Structure 1
Amino acid sequence: MLHVAQPREGGVAGYLVAAARDQVARGWDVTVACPAEGQLATRLREHGIAHEAWEAVRSPGPSAFGEARALGRIVAAKRPDVLHLHASKAGLAGRLLPRQRTPVLFQPHAWSWLAVTGALRHATVAWERHAARRTGLFVCVAEAEAAQGRERGVKGEYTVVRNGVDLTRFRPADDEARMAARAALGVGRDVPLVVCVGRITRQKGQDVLLDAWRRVRQECPTAELALVGGGDLYESTKATGAPGARFTGPVDDVRGWLAAADLVALPSRWEGLPLTALEAFATGRPVVASAVPGLIETLTPEVGELVQPEDPGALAWALTRRLQAPALMRAEGKEALRRSQGFDLRHTYDRLADATTEVAERRKMAVNR
């Protein structure tokens, strides 16, 4: 099994580490091709998972051909039964390789065309339609993601392996756990706290959240906002600032911040199915999020609220309403905890293993004919 990914941190990296660990525990021979430096490589080393250095940048461009050649050398050396490509850059490089017998799984983790507009969006959709010919199976993390592919004319076989959360790692945080987390993080015991976990990028919408936060502070002057994560826009976003907002930078473990939170915000412009929402549920925290595919099928009115993306006024109102009503947040957090049981990570990786095994068996049958 050869997994390939470019993101060094964030949701894709976390997902890949957990998937690789699960497959190794099943007795599979697993290797991950990824950049040599960063959280992904570090965590793979910590868990003793084999990995090969594959240097790639996030953005598409002329470098993709060199990245594809480098990946081709790894594939030729490893000769995997299945090649599993994660996110847009691996999906580009891996499907630029000459046609081969090794079956290819492509997992978008949010389609690449969602990140661009105009002519580039048209070009990206055209590429995905073309690359579908070299894709044995599309693995989508939500029903909405599969629907988006089909609607754009990306033809092929799809399976939905809905994202999940490790319920043994992300556990309910009661008031005692909340106070302990706040003491460790330097947050006041009675401070209303909103937490936003994720890479600071255009996708995740922290700029919209900061705009909304200025309005929130007018109604809740003691409230604080923690933006947890690094990302491409970290420095420029931090420079804009907002009253009561702190930037933590990348963290190795987000559980403390989720435990400390009263409320979790996800102001994304687009998503697949964000792990942060599921981790918040499992911690017992309500979520206010953008009404985008992936989140729409995840959040119900009982666990928080969906607002229109890129609408700081609606986001501010939803946050303020909850910060001023602790009983509402407690009730939503309780329902979020109950809902998290339907996203058990064990089911996610059982489904992924079944889909991967089926693709590998098809290849064996074709070779033996």
Structure 2
Amino acid sequence: MRAVHFTDTYLPRRDGVVSSIRTLVRALADRGHPGLTVVPRHPGQAGEPDLMRLRALPCGVADLRLSPWLLHGATATGTIAEIAATAPEVVHVHTPGPVGLLGVLTARRLGLPLVQTYHTDLHAYVDAYRVPTGALRGAVRLYAHRLGVPRPAVGAEPDSGGAEQAGQDPAALRRRAALDATNLLLLGGADAVVVPTRAVLDRISLPVPADRVFLVPTGVAARRTTPAEVAAFRAAHGIADADKVILFVGRVNREKGVDLLVNAFAALLGGCPHARLVLVGAIYEARWLAELLRSVGAEVAARISVIGQQPPSTVAAAYGAAEVLAFPSGTDTQALVLQEAALAGVPAVLVDPVLHRHGPLAGAADCADPTATGFAAALLRLLTDPAAARRLGELAADRAAEHTPERYAAAICDVYRHAARRQAEWAGRPGRPQPVGAFGRLSDRGRTRR
């Protein structure tokens, strides 16, 4: 089946969603299922085969760029016609932004099966960035308008006093209600919804019946490196032979728990003075990070290397240099870096019990208290007990090896087939959205080719 993938994040930005999509597209192509990927255009973005780049503008958050088609709905017509000319057989939406919404609209207009992957704990992110409720409600109105459907109710205003007495932030409740309405617009009509781990289902309630939800962990391939590349990495970043490296890979942002990690590192240095913390990943809040490093003092900060976003080869060398991976995030739903580290034989320390139990390593990691002292103690145990660290790393490698890109693609193909059957069963029923306008003929042609 030829899929068309829609994502609001793509290279040169690097994150778990980008890694997951690129892994899936390559693995599907290897199985004989080529596809098209629709992305926001970004300065410096290299051209790729089967990549459709849409005009996009910076939104001021985490280097994301948003397609302005929402404000000029007529521009979608030409884009959808161009997509239809590639004869797609299934639409796969990976993100909830404007490009993701365009994917939902494309599926409706072309009468194609719609698959969504819920990659991100959106509720945690809108809380971490304190996204204004007005902006979220505006998105609900605009999304409903572009889809041509009634606007879902956002929910009643929470009683401020009652919410505060129950220990809940009224502003957070309003944000979550608006996000739930957005999820209903995006996911409610999907023929299948993929979640990468049980962590998603434990944290939120998706507006989708259980028989349309599929648990499919992302497959990860090992990042190859050599002793020479590892040695060069250590030398380039001033890591001495005696240093014991605690590695963090991911966005160096507050929602990733970096403040918890830095404070835990300060606490453990007394027990392991040769420890060195290496932070690999994009930095979007430079002032916040600088203040965090100042807060722990110059002596501790001197043992912390912040090296920014790096190409895959450098990240592989970083895993090769590490004794332990520190994963302080409480907002991740899959954490591909846990699998990457495991495949390199590096044990991990988490603070998220849900991801620890239900993530791809299935408990093959150390789960610490989400406090600076608790996290520090867990990291220190692995740094000072190499034999225990090695055993845990070997167990993690075995668990991670179960989730290959090939298995990932095979499982997604099964989801596509399920979605196609469901779409075919519902196609002629009253109330089911049908292909509209000039797209009906193109959609019919696509179904004939199937």
Smaller-chain TM-score range?
Answer: 0.7 to 0.9
- Number of the residue aligned with 1:2: 4
- Number of the residue aligned with 1:28: 33
Query: What is the rounded CA distance, in whole Å, between the counterparts of 1:75 and 1:214 in structure 2?
Result: 53
Query: What is the rounded CA distance, in whole Å, between the counterparts of 1:213 and 1:67 in structure 2?
Result: 49
Q: Which moved more, 1:333-342 or 1:265-274?
A: 333-342
Cα displacement (A) at 1:103? 2.4
* Aligned residues of 2:196 and 2:218 also touching (Cα < 8 A): yes
Residue 294 of structure 1 aligns to a residue whose secondary structure is helix
* Aligned residues of 1:200 and 1:234 also touching (Cα < 8 A): no
* Aligned residues of 2:107 and 2:114 also touching (Cα < 8 A): no
Query: What is the rounded CA distance, in whole Å, between the counterparts of 2:67 and 2:30 in structure 1?
Result: 38
Number of equivalenced pairs:
359
Cα displacement (A) at 1:152? 5.2
State which of 265, 271, 277 in structure 1 corresponds to 2:326: 265
Q: Which moved more, 1:346-355 or 1:114-123?
A: 114-123
Q: Letter of the aligned partner of 1:288 in structure 2? A: V
Q: Identity of paired residues, percent?
A: 23
* Aligned residues of 1:4 and 1:34 also touching (Cα < 8 A): yes
- Number of the residue aligned with 1:221: 273
Q: Letter of the aligned partner of 1:349 in structure 2? A: A
Cα displacement (A) at 1:215? 0.8
Q: Which moved more, 1:138-147 or 1:259-268?
A: 138-147
Query: What is the rounded CA distance, in whole Å, between the counterparts of 2:256 and 2:268 in structure 1?
Result: 19
State which of 99, 111, 127 in structure 1 corresponds to 2:121: 111
Question: Is 1:78 matched up with 2:130?
Answer: no
Check 1:292–1:202 CA distance in 2 against 1; reply closer, same or farther (3 A cut): farther
Residue 193 of structure 1 aligns to a residue whose secondary structure is strand
* Aligned residues of 2:325 and 2:348 also touching (Cα < 8 A): yes
- Number of the residue aligned with 2:389: 329
Residue 6 of structure 2 aligns to a residue whose secondary structure is strand
Check 1:354–1:186 CA distance in 2 against 1; reply closer, same or farther (3 A cut): farther
Cα displacement (A) at 1:287? 0.1
Query: What is the rounded CA distance, in whole Å, between the counterparts of 1:177 and 1:197 in structure 2?
Result: 18
Cα displacement (A) at 1:31? 1.5
- Number of the residue aligned with 2:380: 320
Query: What is the rounded CA distance, in whole Å, between the counterparts of 1:143 and 1:136 in structure 2?
Result: 19
Q: Aligned ranges for residues 170-181 of structure 1 at < 5 Å?
A: 170=224, 179=231
Query: What is the rounded CA distance, in whole Å, between the counterparts of 2:94 and 2:307 in structure 1?
Result: 27
- Number of the residue aligned with 1:197: 249
State which of 304, 310, 316 in structure 2 corresponds to 1:245: 304
* Aligned residues of 2:184 and 2:207 also touching (Cα < 8 A): yes
Q: Which moved more, 1:11-20 or 1:85-94?
A: 85-94
- Number of the residue aligned with 2:95: 87
- Number of the residue aligned with 2:402: 342
Unaligned runs of 5+ in 2: 128-171, 294-300, 428-443
Unaligned runs of 5+ in 1: none
Please give the root-mean-square deviation of Cα atoms over the aligned residues, in Å: 3.2
Check 1:29–1:340 CA distance in 2 against 1; reply closer, same or farther (3 A cut): closer
Query: What is the rounded CA distance, in whole Å, between the counterparts of 2:38 and 2:76 in structure 1?
Result: 8
Query: What is the rounded CA distance, in whole Å, between the counterparts of 2:209 and 2:73 in structure 1?
Result: 23
Cα displacement (A) at 1:19? 1.3
Cα displacement (A) at 1:194? 0.4
Query: What is the rounded CA distance, in whole Å, between the counterparts of 1:300 and 1:143 in structure 2?
Result: 11
